[in-house]
Amino acid sequence: MSERSKFTPLTTFEEFRDAVSAYRLPRILLAALDLDLCTVIGERRWTIPQLAKKLAVSERGLSILCRNLAMAGVLVKQGESYRNSRLGATALNAGHAAYRGDYLDLIKSHWKDWCRLDESVRTGRPLDHDEPEEPDYRRRFTWAMHHRTLETAPKIAAQMDLRGAATLLDLGGGPGTYALAFLAKNPGLRAAVGDRPAALEVARQIAATHKAGARLSYVPLDFTHESITGTYDIIWYSNVLHIYSPEMNRAIFGRALAALNPGGRLLIQDAFLHDREGLNPPDASLFAVSMLLFTEEGNTYSAADTTNWLKDAGFGRVKVLRLKRGTEDWEDGILEAVAPGKRPGTRARRTRSRGSSTAR
Ligand SMILES: C[S@@+](CC[C@H](N)C(=O)[O-])C[C@H]1O[C@@H](n2cnc3c(N)ncnc32)[C@H](O)[C@@H]1O
């Protein structure tokens, strides 16, 4: 348990000052995005006067910004000139196929939203509570989710043993990035993405560019008040648990159970808290703040509490599947809940790296 991450509490004013001052590097990185710096730099090497002219900014400002971006690894400084690092030239450069623009736009908007945290703390409400259902927002958010997970999903799919499973539902699957990764890894599998219609539009576009996309279908639904049509051997429920209250999650688990074949499995990936007080890991604790800012009732939860809700909903065995370090979306693993009844060949493999353990 000691290897699990934990925030080192601040004890002195100097530590507090340093923690607060951590905004500086994020602000520098976001200023680079706001100026489209890596896109303008592209494949070339630039002196500051050349680049300042091109961007229509001051040489003094750009020189200090670029020096810091070189310190951070986004740019490379060679004498008096700068070029993109590999990161700057790819994920941060709109001229490159690996550009993650939709996710970068989401991060930029989050900076502005986090600056209004006091408002949400006062009201207990999200900042713009109508926006998440708006189709244009949903499409942009769905692309952002694809850009967020396109490298993680195959790594996770590689570790999930789906032998014996013929059907999978990616519930709240958004862009279907995980469903496609599971399909690519398991040639005999068929999958569906269940989500809102605007998210499914994006999922269709992405699937059209993948060979495995031919085995993907689409289920438009709102699972907070509709039952799930069809039955599946596996339901993959990734990054949705935190959007809802414990009560709503119990209800959703009940609908998921009704849509699982006997012995089928619900696999939950989320930012699980791992200590009794709900303070750590830091990423999971901090993520609850995003849920305050952007959702009506979301939060982050422990695997132990989630296990209790799963049992209340009628699931049998529940355990945590641990992933290889460095491959996870969140560090505290994936919760596997098995529907009552026997279905041979659908058991989860104990992952070799760190094994599995019973949920706390
Ligand atoms: C944070 S995204 C996660 C996307 C993907 N599962 C992943 O892990 O990257 C949450 C997804 O759940 C969908 N979702 C949330 N509540 C929903 C509901 N009540 N009915 C249908 N989809 C919902 C959202 O539209 C969104 O695509």
pLDDT tens, residue order, the chain (360 aa): 446 789 999 999 999 999 999 999 999 999 999 999 999 999 999 999 999 999 999 999 999 999 999 999 999 999 999 999 999 999 999 999 999 999 999 999 999 999 999 999 999 999 986 566 789 999 999 999 999 999 999 999 999 999 999 999 999 999 999 999 999 999 999 999 999 999 999 999 999 999 999 999 999 999 999 999 999 999 999 999 999 999 999 999 999 999 999 999 999 999 999 988 889 999 999 999 999 999 999 999 999 999 999 999 999 999 999 998 888 889 888 999 999 998 744 444 444 333 333 333
Give nearest CA residue, ligand 1 atom 5. 173
**Closest CA relative to residue 279, chosen from 300, 258, 260, 293:** 300
The residue written with tokens 């000052």 in the block is 17
Residue 61, domain extent: 13-89
Distance CA 138, CA 180 (A): 20
Judge if 152 and 294 occupy the same domain.
yes
Residue 108 lies in a domain: no
For the record, the structure tokens of 178 come out as 């995980």
Judge if 202 and 346 occupy the same domain.
yes
Please write down the HEC assignment for all residues of the chain: CCCCCCCCCCCCHHHHHHHHHHHHHHHHHHHHHHCCHHHHHCCCCEEHHHHHHHHCCCHHHHHHHHHHHHHHCCEEEECCEEEECHHHHCCCCCCCCCCCHHHHHHHHHHHHHHCCHHHHHHHCCCCCCCHHHCHHHHHHHHHHHHHHHCCHHHHHHCCCCCCCCCEEEEECCCCCHHHHHHHHHCCCCEEEEEECHHHHHHHHHHHCCCHHHHHEEEEECCCCCCCCCCCEEEEEEECCHHHCCHHHHHHHHHHHHHCEEEEEEEEEECCCECCCCCCCCHHHHHHHHHHHHHCCCCCCCEHHHHHHHHHHHCCCCEEEECCCCCCCCCCCCEEEEECCCCCCCCCCCCCCCCCEEECC
Residue 125 lies in a domain: no
Residues in contact with ligand 1 (CB, 6 Å cut-off): 142, 145, 149, 172-174, 195-196, 199, 221-224, 238-240, 243
- Domain final residue, candidates 31, 56, 89: 89
Judge if 163 and 73 occupy the same domain.
no
Ligand 1 centroid from CA 153, angstroms: 15
Distance CA 53, CA 59 (A): 8
Report pLDDT for 130.
59
Measured at the CA of 110, the angle between CA 107 and CA 116, to 5 degrees, comes to 160
Judge if 248 and 298 occupy the same domain.
yes
Ligand 1 centroid from CA 14, angstroms: 41
Residue 239 belongs to domain with CATH number: 3.40.50.150
Judge if 59 and 207 occupy the same domain.
no
Report pLDDT for 62.
98
Report pLDDT for 132.
64
User: To test the ligand 1 pocket, which listed residue (235, 243, 293) has its Cβ within 8 A of the most ligand atoms?
Assistant: 243
Cβ neighbour number for residue 124 with a 10 Å cutoff: 9
Ligand 1 centroid from CA 43, angstroms: 37
Residue 111 lies in a domain: no
Residue 105 lies in a domain: no
Give nearest CA residue, ligand 1 atom 6. 173
Report pLDDT for 357.
36
Ligand 1 centroid from CA 194, angstroms: 8
Ligand 1 centroid from CA 37, angstroms: 32
Judge if 64 and 195 occupy the same domain.
no
Report pLDDT for 242.
98
Residue 65 belongs to domain with CATH number: 1.10.10.10
- The alpha carbons of the chain give a radius of gyration, in whole angstroms, of 22
Asked if 282 contacts 4 with a C-beta cutoff of 8 angstroms, the reply is: no
Task: Kindly list the distances between the CA atom of residue 256 and the CA atoms of 177, 186, 190, in Å, as whole numbers in the listed order.
Answer: 20, 22, 18
Judge if 61 and 154 occupy the same domain.
no
Core vs surface per residue 299-316: b (16+ CB within 10 A) or e = bbbbbbbbbebbeebebe
Report pLDDT for 5.
86
Q: Taking the alpha carbons of 208, 209, 215, 219 in that order, is the dihedral positive or negative? A: negative
Judge if 246 and 145 occupy the same domain.
yes
- Domain final residue, candidates 36, 57, 89: 89
Atom of ligand 1 lying closest to residue 177 CA: 9
Judge if 183 and 256 occupy the same domain.
yes
Give nearest CA residue, ligand 1 atom 23. 172
Residue 119 lies in a domain: no
Judge if 140 and 271 occupy the same domain.
yes
Distance CA 103, CA 99 (A): 9
Residue 205 lies in a domain: yes
Judge if 135 and 75 occupy the same domain.
no
Report pLDDT for 331.
86
Ligand 1 centroid from CA 240, angstroms: 6
Task: Find the largest Cα–Cα distance for the chain.
Answer: 71
Instruction: Quote the number of domains for the chain.
Output: 2
Judge if 75 and 136 occupy the same domain.
no
For the record, the structure tokens of 229 come out as 């049509």
Ligand 1 centroid from CA 172, angstroms: 3
Residue 29 lies in a domain: yes
- Domain final residue, candidates 35, 62, 89: 89
Residue 113 lies in a domain: no
Give nearest CA residue, ligand 1 atom 1. 239
